[in-house]
Amino acid sequence: MQNRLFIDGEFVDSEAHARIPVLNPHDNSVITEVAEAQKADIDRAVDAARKAFGGWSRLAAADRGRMLLRLADAIEARAEELAELETLDTGHPLRDTKGLDVVRTAFTFRYFGGMADKVQGSVVPVEQGFLNYVLREPLGVVGQIVPWNFPLMFTGWKMGPALAAGNTVVLKPAELTPLSSLRVAELAREVGFPKGVMNVVPGYGNVAGQYLAEHPGVDKIAFTGSTATGRKIVQASAGNLKRVQLELGGKGANIVFDDANLLAAVNGSAFAIFHNQGQACIAGSRLILHEKIADAFLDKFLGLARSIRVGNPMDPATEMGPLTSAQHRDRVLSYVKVAREEGGEILLGGKAPERRELAKGCYVEPTVVRASPRSRVSQEEVFGPFVTVTTFRDDEEVIAVANGTEYGLGGGLWTTNLARAHRVAAAMRTGMVWINCYKRVNPGSPFGGVGRSGYGREMGFEAMHDYTEAKSVWVNVDAQIPPYYPR
């Protein structure tokens, strides 16, 4: 288990010898202590990335792609180890880290490994006698800040397109969950990545993250996290006008129409909110039910939520583990009090489990709250296993409710009416819409939001374009240009 900074191809201590304790959220025991990156360490990492940029960006795109493919193979070969490390560090159940997180991470590196030599320029039809072509060139050094909810997966999402496009990277994992990102760096070294191309520097957001965002040697900052922190990232980036990509909060509307397949909607809606303990920016945290089927839906949904096996995430039978930190658990539970104060009805949960073996951990029961669309719990991102329920009568009303927050990341709807499905999806003000499913992601499909959910896109060709600059080149082939100042 690596617990030092990865800078210029080596694992090193921070210059200040500062350390951060990393806790197991199941019982709040200390797993290890990792080196804490401070400003001097960020300087070292940026300098290493800057020196490595020339060679990496000039490397044939196919050769960069092959390096990413080797890394994907190494991740797959160590899937069991990575899954256990991710579960230990985050509390995400082992069945999910094995079945989803590691698989998605390897898939993402493999996808962008294959895309490295497929991002093409273009030729623009301009006036006769001239050739105008457009190149896609890497930006330079990219600073990347990944959150604590899916650290391994987001490491792949951030690094994959940036490295494929020819950039070098300084990645800061969340101080709560740095272990899998450091392991990926170790695997990258093992498969032969050049020194300085990939640097991983755990540290606190208000020190390392802030300095990385404002660093004059960084050409782009890509951040996933809260909207409040995203605003600070924008402000910090202004010094050298670096590019900014933000994937921020969400308050996903999950609409169930009266003609929906009820069983599919119940199962999909439970996954939408309770997967990873609701710690997902795209979680379906607002259930909006047609009044005709609301009672029948809730009867099945509450029964399913009660049956979810909450427990030690290292147990393969566990379906929901702890939240990632005690501080976040307390924040989620504070919204139960808010809901009651606003007149909401707690239909299920709203407390920590009472089982003795979970008493030391950061657990919260699946929580379902009936609340008005304008209440705080329906407007603010709780980021836990906490879903609000409200009802609607017609399409016009539900579209207004769905669009009634400042967020716009993801949302879903359940219906067997094809025309309605497309009409409502088009009307939802959100970066992603799922129809008769929820939280589907793929490296080829753009991921991102609008409004307070940020801007820019992860994944797909959109991500590759966000990590490159368009350069227009004009060539006078045989144009006879008359003098502009004839004499």
Does pLDDT of 487 surpass 90?
A: no
Which ranges in the chain are annotated with CATH 3.40.309.10? 253-435
* Mean of the per-residue pLDDT values of the chain: 97
pLDDT in tens, 286-302: 999 999 999 999 999 99
Which ranges in the chain are annotated with CATH 3.40.605.10? 5-248+453-473
Q: What is the DSSP letter of 106?
A: H
Per-residue pLDDT band for 1 (boundaries 50, 70, 90) equals: confident
Give, in order, the Cα–Cα distances in Å from 424 to each of 286, 412, 476: 16, 10, 50
Using DSSP's 3-state secondary structure scheme, residue 63 falls into helix
Could you tell me the fold of the domain covering 5-248+453-473?
Answer: Aldehyde Dehydrogenase; Chain A, domain 1 (3.40.605)
pLDDT in tens, 256-278: 999 999 999 999 999 999 999 99
Residue 47's φ and ψ, nearest 5 degrees, are: -60, -45
pLDDT in tens, 322-362: 999 999 999 999 999 999 999 999 999 999 999 999 999 99
User: Percent of the chain beyond pLDDT 90?
Assistant: 99
Strand partners, 345: 370
Does pLDDT of 237 surpass 90?
A: yes
Q: What is the pTM of this model?
A: 0.95
Specify the CATH architecture of the domain 253-435.
Answer: 3-Layer(aba) Sandwich (3.40)
What is the token pair recorded at 206? 């208000």
pLDDT in tens, 70-80: 999 999 999 99
Question: Which pLDDT belongs to residue 468?
Answer: 97
Average pLDDT over residues 360-379: 97
Residues 6+ apart with CB under 8 A from 359: none
pLDDT in tens, 402-436: 999 999 999 999 999 999 999 999 999 999 999 99
Question: Which pLDDT belongs to residue 5?
Answer: 98
**Gap between the Cα atoms of 309 and 296, Å rounded:** 23
Q: Tell me the catalytic residues.
A: 247, 281
**Gap between the Cα atoms of 451 and 231, Å rounded:** 12
